[in-house]
């Protein structure tokens, strides 16, 4: 099972400090172990959900991992930072809807003979996790590898994504700009 890489010593140190979160006057205590578990769950869901999403086989599994709001995706490509705001039709201000995002990913992945996505949690800092994502083609070869920082809510949902992509691979930003031309 793909999971969060953390040593026993690292978990023990993190467990010593508890995070106390006051959400809407309801005090909830979270240990770093709980946050590691939530990050581990996201990493386990990410690959299958993104694979299904990118193949155009439905968006609900992937969307269920996110807060029900406009999602900022911060993407770096060749030293340029861009923020894409993804949401539902009628949400303002958005850059694109979930369905347009899915179409762009499907187009990008089909050109690379996409087969699947795998993900692994590399670590956690506060309410952020580092997620490594690899895309595989039908020959089971990795053709793209990226690292993202995901900001999580106390419910274990993703509120923001900051992606650091493979500098050799075309990014979703490039794909979006090409479709606008």
Which is higher by pLDDT, 77 or 28? 77
Tell me the pLDDT of the chain averaged across its residues. Answer: 75
Residue 15 pairs with which residues in a beta bridge? none
Contact 165, 75 (CB under 8 A): yes
Residue 29 pairs with which residues in a beta bridge? 20
Mean pLDDT of 14-30: 35
Query: Could you tell me which of 152, 166, 119, 116 has the C-alpha nearest to residue 5?
Result: 119
Which is higher by pLDDT, 76 or 148? 148
Reported residue count of the chain is 181
176 vs 162: CA distance, rounded Å: 17
Backbone torsions φ then ψ of 117, nearest 5 degrees: -125, 140
Mean pLDDT of 61-74: 89
| Burial status of residue 138 (CB atoms within 10 A of its CB: 0-12, 13-18, 19 or more) | exposed
Which is higher by pLDDT, 180 or 1? 180
pLDDT score recorded for residue 64 = 92
Cα angle 66, 55, 165 (rounded to 5 degrees) comes to 65
Strand, helix or coil for residue 125? strand
Taking the CB of residue 96, how many other CB atoms lie within 10 A of it? 18
CA distances, 14 to each of 35, 162, 166 (Å): 10, 23, 31
Mean pLDDT of 102-122: 87
pLDDT score recorded for residue 176 = 43
Mean pLDDT of 120-129: 91
């Amino acid at each position: 099972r793909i999971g969060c890489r953390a040593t026993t010593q690292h978990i023990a140190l993190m467990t010593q400090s508890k995070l106390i979160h006051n959400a809407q006057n309801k005090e909830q205590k979270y240990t770093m172990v709980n946050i590691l578990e939530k990050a581990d769950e996201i990493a386990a869901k990410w690959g299958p959900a993104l694979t299904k999403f990118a193949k155009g086989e439905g968006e609900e599994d992937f969307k269920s991992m996110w807060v029900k709001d406009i999602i900022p995706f911060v993407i770096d490509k060749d030293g340029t930072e861009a923020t894409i705001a993804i949401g539902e039709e009628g949400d303002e201000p958005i850059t694109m809807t979930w369905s347009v995002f899915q179409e762009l990913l499907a187009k990008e992945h089909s050109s690379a003979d996409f087969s699947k996505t795998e993900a692994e949690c590399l670590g956690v800092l506060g309410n952020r996790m580092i997620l490594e994502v690899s895309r595989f083609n039908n020959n089971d070869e990795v053709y793209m590898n990226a690292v993202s920082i995901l900001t999580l809510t106390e419910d274990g949902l993703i509120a923001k994504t900051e992606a650091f992509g493979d500098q050799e691979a075309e990014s979703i930003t490039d794909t979006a700009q090409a479709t606008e031309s």
